[in-house]
Amino acid sequence: MEDKLNQLNDNLPEISVSDLSNQVKFTMETAFGRVRVRGEISRPMKAASGHLYLTLKDEKSVLDGVCWKGNAQRLTIQP
């Protein structure tokens, strides 16, 4: 059984990280458009670049996120 699974995996086409990222982005934008997400910000880290990296979480799930420099500068509340 494991040999058959390995053979199936060997036949899967490889795609680049960029291609996968673009496909996920397209799918998300097509399915949802613009959304507002509510959650608790944890582990905020402001990088030397000015970007803000953070984790957004609720009781069941966690999302990693980025607030680009231009948007981070306009935040009225700093995490």
Inside any domain, residue 23: yes
CA angle (8 as vertex; 5, 12 as ends), nearest 5:
135
DSSP 76: S
Res 17: pLDDT: 97
> What beta strand segments (E) does 1-79 contain?
40-46, 52-57, 62-67
Which domain covers residue 63, as residue numbers? 2-73
Round to whole Å and give the CA distance between 66 and 58.
17
**pLDDT per residue rounded down to tens, the chain (79 residues):** 566 666 666 778 899 999 999 999 999 999 998 888 899 999 999 999 999 999 999 999 999 999 999 999 999 987 7
Tally the domains of the chain.
1
Inside any domain, residue 44: yes
Inside any domain, residue 78: no
> Do the beta carbons of residue 47 and residue 68 sit within 8 Å?
no
Inside any domain, residue 79: no
